[in-house]
Amino acid sequence: MIGLNFITKEIGVNYIGEEKNINGVNTLTDAKEDEISFYNSSKYIDDLLITKASAVLIEEKYANLVPSSTIALITDEPYLKLALTSKIFSYKIVTKGGHPHLGDNCDIDKRIRFGQNVTIGNNVTILAGCYIGDNVTIGSNTLLHSNVSIYHHSIIGEDCIIHSGAVIGSDGYGFAHTKQGEHIKIYQNGIAEIGDRVEIGANCTVDRAVFGKTIIRSGTKLDNLIHIGHNSDIGENNLMASQVGISGSTNLGKNVIMAGQSGTAGHLFVGDFATISARGGVTKSLAGGKIYGGFPAIEHKRWLKLQAKISLLLKIKK
């Protein structure tokens, strides 16, 4: 735990008051009584009113909305101060390795690098060149092909296959911006969690969360060259073809199909059994059970009609 007075001094926020021990950074809704949070958008006002955070980084004009049990840390740049705070709680990367806790009948190549406190289930196979970071858990019957990298605290389920060059738990892409235009890293202090029976293709990347988890749920299959952004929740039994890109905080229901080179903007939901056709661009939340295409993605039949009309207009113009 780290004292609130130390944190505020480090990030340049004026605070003279009761000392509190802070254990981490979290969202307004998920923050516990020993965590710090931030408020920088009116769309989260309902979350602010009920937050249990010990302290909240917030502009002065909103300070009266902070619950009585929460300390308002006044700043005109709450998002930037969040970035600075995230660094304080970032995981310290070290090169010191350790011996994993191994289950029965594992086949582990000698040319593997393990971090500390790694736990591996039964019948796991790991090929040459893999790196398994600190506090990683790998479930039984899972196969890692050569040169897979699994960052610290990631969780891999049972009966998974992860192909060469895949990276699980790398940092999500998040920055706060100063008034001078500098980009300040928001340290990604969450984890990446892979369910059971998931297959991840070659050279895929699954980012860890800013807070909480990035999740790929059981039964989902990823082709090669796919990116899953931080804090996304990929539902059960999804299918994704090559070069799909999922932006941060995307929530996909179960049995969603995403064809080649399709993608999503962030902070949206796609319902169960939806299909996004090749190169479809999802810019807003979509209902399940339908086929979508185009950019921005609309129902596929409508998109085909639109293309036909555009083609007809071009013919008429000639």
Kindly report the three-state secondary structure assignment for every residue of 252-299. Answer: ECCCCEECCCCEECCCCEECCCCEECCCCEECCCECCCCEEECCCCEE
In angstroms, rounded to a whole number, what is the distance separating the alpha carbons of residues 291 and 75? 46
What superfamily in CATH does domain 101-301 come from?
A: Hexapeptide repeat proteins (2.160.10.10)
In angstroms, rounded to a whole number, what is the distance separating the alpha carbons of residues 309 and 154? 49
In the chain, domain spans: 2-88, 101-301
In angstroms, rounded to a whole number, what is the distance separating the alpha carbons of residues 31 and 39? 12
Average pLDDT over residues 197-221: 98
CATH match of 2-88 with 3.40.1390.10: yes
Q: For the sheet with 191-194, list strands across it.
A: 101-102, 119-120, 137-138, 155-156, 191-194, 213-216, 233-234, 251-252, 269-270
Burial class, 253, CB count within 10 angstroms (exposed 0-12 / middle 13-18 / buried 19+): buried
Check residue 307 and give its pLDDT.
87
In angstroms, rounded to a whole number, what is the distance separating the alpha carbons of residues 4 and 18? 9
In angstroms, rounded to a whole number, what is the distance separating the alpha carbons of residues 264 and 269? 9
64 Cβ contact list (under 8 Å, min separation 6) = none
State yes or no: is 163 an active-site residue: no
Looking at 177, 230, 267, 300, which residue is catalytic?
230
Between the two ends of the chain, the Cα-to-Cα distance in Å is 72
In angstroms, rounded to a whole number, what is the distance separating the alpha carbons of residues 15 and 12? 9
Question: Percentage of the chain surpassing pLDDT 70?
Answer: 99
Pick 112 or 311 by higher pLDDT: 112
Check residue 318 and give its pLDDT.
61
Task: Say yes or no to pLDDT of 317 above 80.
Answer: no
5-58 pLDDT, tens digit each: 999 999 999 998 889 999 999 999 999 999 999 999 888 999 999 999 999 999
In angstroms, rounded to a whole number, what is the distance separating the alpha carbons of residues 210 and 248? 10
In angstroms, rounded to a whole number, what is the distance separating the alpha carbons of residues 216 and 229? 11
249-296 pLDDT, tens digit each: 999 999 999 999 999 999 999 999 999 999 999 999 999 999 999 999
In angstroms, rounded to a whole number, what is the distance separating the alpha carbons of residues 188 and 61? 29
**Residue 149 · residue 168 · CB < 8 Å:** yes
Query: What is the pTM (predicted TM-score) of this model?
Result: 0.94
